[in-house]
Structure 1
Amino acid sequence: MEGNIMGVNGPVIKAEHMKGFKMREMVMVGFKKLIGEIIILEEDYATIQVYEETSGLKIGEPVISTGSPLSLKLGPGILGNIFDGIERPLEKINEMSYGFLPEGIGLISLDEEKLWPVDINAKLGDELKEGYIYASVQETESIMHKIMVPPGVFGTVIEVIKNGNYNIETTVVKLKQDEKIHELKLYQYWPVRNPRPVKDKKTIFKPLITGQRIIDMFFPIAKGGTCAIPGGFGTGKTITQHQLAKWSDADIIVYIGCGERGNEMTEVLEDFPKLIDPRTNLPLMNRTVLIANTSNMPVAAREASVYTGITIAEYFRDMGYHVAIMADSTSRWAEALREISGRLEEMPAEEGYPAYLPSRIAEFYERAGYVENLNGSEGSVTVIGAVSPAGGDFSEPVTQNTKRFVSAFLGLDKKLAYARHYPAINWLSSYSGYTSLLKDWYEENVAEDVMDLRAKMLKLLYEENKLLEIVKLVGEDVLPDEQRLIIEVAKCLKIAFLQQNAYNAVDTFVPLGKQYKMLKAIESFYDNGCRAVKAGIPISVIMNKELMEKLYKMKYNVPNDNPELIDDLESELGKYFEELIEKYR
């Protein structure tokens, strides 16, 4: 089937003679065969969004049908790779056309010539169902790529090849379903806008351990959960996402640079290959997929990039892996929606965004979850999206709508960032809806009193915030010693615990055991300080400089593999206060 271009408006094309085409069908536009997708069908006319640069297109050029929606090729070769917004490998494109994206290179995807060591799991006569793992490939040193029967396919094995080295186009198993023969290769196709099917969505019960103290202890993210990280320019959204990508205990990381500056993606490209995964001591890129859609790339491909990322994440989830997807930033994605909506002359809603912005954001975050897969394994997709509100205004539509659909909200504060307090997560405006779901896990795996301790420390921070308002008016000297102690302990909590140095080898990642002991040491100081205040000891004596210095520096001086040293500090605190109270009695 073939239509003709009748109008070009940036990435939006109007075409005629389109009666036989389908909604959301992928098409080839013009003589250059640019990749596009039908977004409106009206009688004989269609509106197409094109994922490549459209300059040079002319009226009357053909629009050719492909017969299928925009789909990804899912198979070995995804991990360690960097793709554009529609899964075209940028390294390969760079070899073909150095330094820029050429027009009309087509939908090239995974390497079809590379040989992979294939281990066949299926045997003649086996009855295979959708999701069944019929072969496996050691894709990287740390990840086994499991080749699954595509959804909707099942049958009896009538032909199978031997173990060996094959490219992804090799037919490794043939299935017979009634009179139909299915040839199973080392990959499958899946439409990016359709969530992949699962057997069951399960209740969330495990945290995503990040090694970042304020997140793990105060505002935990769950495996299979959703999280938003909003913040204005310079507040540290990207570095926070980098930290989560480097240190979280997900099996696979999918990092989407959606409309961000090119230099930020360059940093990711240069840093990630050098990083060593702390769990395997192998390169972090072995379990990472990068999707780069920088701000100078075609705007329609930016809109598709988040769907590309979440589809790849779901594919690895179906193998039984826990996947974390970082979208940086969903505001740029929403801006792409706004630009295309404007070119379509749709009625704008708040701040010019399309009226369907909330439903698009909801669709994206709803694809997260902890699930039982079709093959009986368990896996999860955790979605962590950065939001870049203009001027740091959290009341703008993207932040507000994202807040409706996520359960963890880590609000970044420009005042904290300018004061060099990183991560600049504001403990007063942030929250996590997962604390009650994860309570049992924390009590079993960390300590029985960990949630009570968290609540006590947060209460101290809230009280300090109220007291600082009074201090601004009348000064600290008029406060009773009990309240001055709260201010001093909260200051210690902020510097010694909440502040974390991403560039320090010890402090960049902190295990849960050490995080808990650090909080206990600060609690011990507060409890002993309260006893001392009641005994009439002046606050200047209670705030012993030497002890405070040890509390401030325990995050650097106590090795992560020997948190028991904090117990010694706690004993020292207890001894100091016992002697002090005895002396003033």
Structure 2
Amino acid sequence: MSKMTNGIIEMINGPVVKASGLSSFKMREMVTVGNKKLIGEIISLDGDIGTIQVYEETEGLKIGEEVVSSGKPLSLKLGPGLLSNMFDGIERPLKKLYELSGGFIAEGIGLISLDEDKEWEVDLTINVGDHLKGGEFFGSVMETSIIKNYLMIPSNICGDIVSINKQDKYKLEDEVAIIKDKNGKEHILKIYQEWPVRIPRPSKKRMALSKPLVTGQRVLDIFFPLAKGGTAAIPGGFGTGKTMTQHQLAKWSDADIIVYIGCGERGNEMTDVLEEFPKLIDPNTGKTIMERTVLIANTSNMPVAAREASIYTGITMAEYYRDMGYHVAIMADSTSRWAEALREISGRLEEMPAEEGYPAYLPSRLAEFYERAGYVETLSGKEASVTIIGAVSPAGGDFSEPVTENTKRFVNAFLALDKKLAYARHYPSINWLNSYSGYIKVLDKWYRENVSGDVIELRAEMLQILYEENKLSDIVQLVGEDVLPDDQRLILEIAKVIKIGFLQQNAFHAEDTYVPLPKQHLMLELMKFLYDKASEAVKLGIPISKVKDPEIFGKVTKMKYTIPNDDLTGIGRLMSEIEDFYENLKVKYKV
């Protein structure tokens, strides 16, 4: 085997560096570049000439400086200490970076990751002589007060435990045990493992999706549901509420673990996440939401190559917790900024551009990312999932641009944000005409068994009313509402109740920010009941001006605020009030 030699920098073009003498290096190998030892990754090899994308600022780098191999691909340390932490795009903790270099990240700090000095109490579950396969647990650590981190045998190792180093507490690099494989080779087990970010972690088998990701957001849970292990895109122009919608999903969804990636977003948005999340109380546990959250911040002023890596960093962390048996939701905000990083690096590599300057491999990269979602049986035999929810930021709100169009091919839920709704302060500004969910059929059984037998039909009826209202609104704009027959005028009124009373949700109201599924269903039942009773009165010839009583309609619209989430008896009383009102109306008009 030829001796490894160091490469020599020949050309520098922003984050892209070319070096000679790399014939013994491998594709996707992690390297250190220049005297400052900047972290980089080899992305192409041609003879002994290699191209490297550098994950740090290359200012001050000189031709003639050395490129040194690390002997491994870009990998993450996966172990206790990820939760409640905030990392940059290549898993360097931002708090530690701030201590080392202040407000701006200095070059050449190196690939620091998890805290190697912190000691963890480990509950070992193995004995000498035990035979263990890859993915099986050999102990656990209480990573936070609500999440137990299970220590796993690396997936490529299978063998017998030959020795155990029993201690009260372990640091990351301490030897916990030794396992010997069938070839007689010994492997040291530690409380962490390393994994290359671009390779999906294995599972025993992929399973059919059958359970919803319950979010507490009415427009999602009833109208456009997401499945655990599924994929969703939230496209929208500037100011339409993509980040706000993802914040709500991160705060309230019933995933066990949240991985939030701020990919190329503005620094103030990530600051908002940092300041707000620690104050939020998880409704399921009563603890701060940060205890089950990992934050990855790669803001728009950070090196562009690290933005490209941040997506893979996030999904690898998500798969790590999935392998322990947890349901993980990953928020990528936004994949458009990631695609822009691909475009910039592709341009510097002088590759042939495709549509709008994006590289020709954009669709395959998007597919690689979204295909890592799924509901699986893990190597340890548990059911777990990774759900991917990616925000897309099309320039000018144009959904026909390449990132949105290609994302649409690989996701099953498309939650189109509408700037008209956003400017009218209707949040979440999800347009019910342009959005869709491909999970209605697969979740039908779960909804019938756990919510109500009629919830899917109810959803279809309410959507039909909204479609009818959309057609009628064109006529109203031309000739006014008065020319419409009373039954069509009633559709306009009921659609307004559905839009304001159900689809619009106030993130800052204690009762409305999160709504449990039973209340969501009963709210829609009541709106359907109101429509049926009012429609019956219209058919009997009662004037629409009397049928659309402002007080009754107002009470139905405001029930999201007036009826507590933990006491739904008020909905039954409101139903009785509606019935009495229309019965009295029939008596008054003698019909």
Instruction: Name the TM-score class by shorter chain.
Output: over 0.9
What's the counterpart of residue 309 of structure 2? Answer: 304
Q: Tell me, yes or no, if the aligned pair for 1:137 and 1:144 is still in contact at 8 Å.
A: yes
Partner residue of 2:428 out of 423, 427, 431: 423
What's the counterpart of residue 528 of structure 2? Answer: 523
Equivalent position SS for 1:48: strand
What's the counterpart of residue 18 of structure 2? Answer: 14
Partner residue of 2:540 out of 532, 535, 542: 535
Mind listing any 5+ residue stretches in structure 2 that lack a counterpart? none
What's the counterpart of residue 119 of structure 2? Answer: 115
Q: Tell me, yes or no, if the aligned pair for 1:81 and 1:290 is still in contact at 8 Å.
A: yes
Distance 1:310 1:410 in 2: 21
Distance 2:108 2:441 in 1: 52
* Aligned length in residues: 585
Distance 2:278 2:25 in 1: 43
Regions of 4+ moved over 4 Å: none
Deviations 1:506-531 (A, max 9, x none): 10000000000100111001000110
Partner residue of 1:362 out of 342, 364, 367: 367
Q: What is the aligned-residue identity percentage?
A: 68
What's the counterpart of residue 511 of structure 1? Answer: 516
Q: Report the AA paired with residue 74 of structure 1.
A: L
What's the counterpart of residue 60 of structure 1? Answer: 64
What's the counterpart of residue 433 of structure 1? Answer: 438
What's the counterpart of residue 24 of structure 1? Answer: 28
* Greater Cα shift, 154-163 or 58-67: 154-163
Matches within 5 A, 1:405-420: 405-420=410-425
Matches within 5 A, 1:202-281: 202-281=207-286
1:199 CA drift (Å):
0.5
Distance 2:121 2:290 in 1: 20
Deviations 1:17-36 (A, max 9, x none): 11000000000000111000
What's the counterpart of residue 34 of structure 1? Answer: 38
Partner residue of 1:325 out of 321, 327, 330: 330
What's the counterpart of residue 8 of structure 2? Answer: 4
Q: Report the AA paired with residue 83 of structure 2.
A: L
Equivalent position SS for 2:497: helix
Partner residue of 1:349 out of 345, 350, 354: 354
Q: Report the AA paired with residue 49 of structure 1.
A: Q
* Cα RMSD, aligned residues only: 0.7
What's the counterpart of residue 76 of structure 2? Answer: 72
What's the counterpart of residue 149 of structure 2? Answer: 145
Distance 1:510 1:12 in 2: 48
1:135 CA drift (Å):
1.0
Distance 1:151 1:130 in 2: 4
Q: Report the AA paired with residue 519 of structure 1.
A: L
What's the counterpart of residue 313 of structure 1? Answer: 318
1:401 matched to 2:406:
yes
What's the counterpart of residue 563 of structure 2? Answer: 558
Equivalent position SS for 1:195: coil
Distance 1:227 1:10 in 2: 33
1:162 CA drift (Å):
2.9
Partner residue of 2:165 out of 161, 170, 183: 161
What's the counterpart of residue 498 of structure 1? Answer: 503
1:475 matched to 2:480:
yes
Q: Report the AA paired with residue 318 of structure 2.
A: A
Distance 2:387 2:179 in 1: 34
Deviations 1:72-123 (A, max 9, x none): 0000000000000000000011111111111111100000110111000111
Q: Report the AA paired with residue 470 of structure 2.
A: N
Deviations 1:365-400 (A, max 9, x none): 000000000110111000000000000000000000
Deviations 1:171-194 (A, max 9, x none): 111101132001000000000000
Q: Report the AA paired with residue 299 of structure 1.
A: V
1:163 CA drift (Å):
5.6
Q: Report the AA paired with residue 562 of structure 2.
A: N
Deviations 1:47-80 (A, max 9, x none): 0000000011111100001110000000000000
Distance 1:170 1:417 in 2: 53
* Greater Cα shift, 575-584 or 46-55: 575-584
1:91 matched to 2:95:
yes
1:170 CA drift (Å):
1.2
1:189 matched to 2:190:
no
Equivalent position SS for 1:58: coil
Equivalent position SS for 1:425: coil
Q: Tell me, yes or no, if the aligned pair for 1:234 and 1:417 is still in contact at 8 Å.
A: yes
Distance 1:165 1:44 in 2: 47
1:160 CA drift (Å):
1.3
Distance 2:568 2:26 in 1: 61
Q: Tell me, yes or no, if the aligned pair for 1:29 and 1:35 is still in contact at 8 Å.
A: yes
Distance 2:505 2:286 in 1: 23
1:200 CA drift (Å):
0.3
Deviations 1:440-492 (A, max 9, x none): 00000000000000000000000000011111122111111010000100011
Equivalent position SS for 2:121: strand
Distance 2:448 2:575 in 1: 21
Deviations 1:224-265 (A, max 9, x none): 000000000000000000000000000000000000000000
1:449 matched to 2:454:
yes
Mind listing any 5+ residue stretches in structure 1 that lack a counterpart? none
Q: Report the AA paired with residue 536 of structure 2.
A: R
Q: Tell me, yes or no, if the aligned pair for 1:209 and 1:248 is still in contact at 8 Å.
A: yes
Distance 2:451 2:568 in 1: 13
1:583 CA drift (Å):
2.2
Q: Tell me, yes or no, if the aligned pair for 1:276 and 1:282 is still in contact at 8 Å.
A: yes
Q: Report the AA paired with residue 103 of structure 1.
A: E
Q: Report the AA paired with residue 75 of structure 1.
A: G
Q: Report the AA paired with residue 332 of structure 2.
A: A
Q: Tell me, yes or no, if the aligned pair for 1:73 and 1:189 is still in contact at 8 Å.
A: yes
Distance 2:563 2:121 in 1: 44
Distance 2:177 2:449 in 1: 45
Q: Report the AA paired with residue 150 of structure 1.
A: P
Equivalent position SS for 1:28: strand
1:124 matched to 2:100:
no
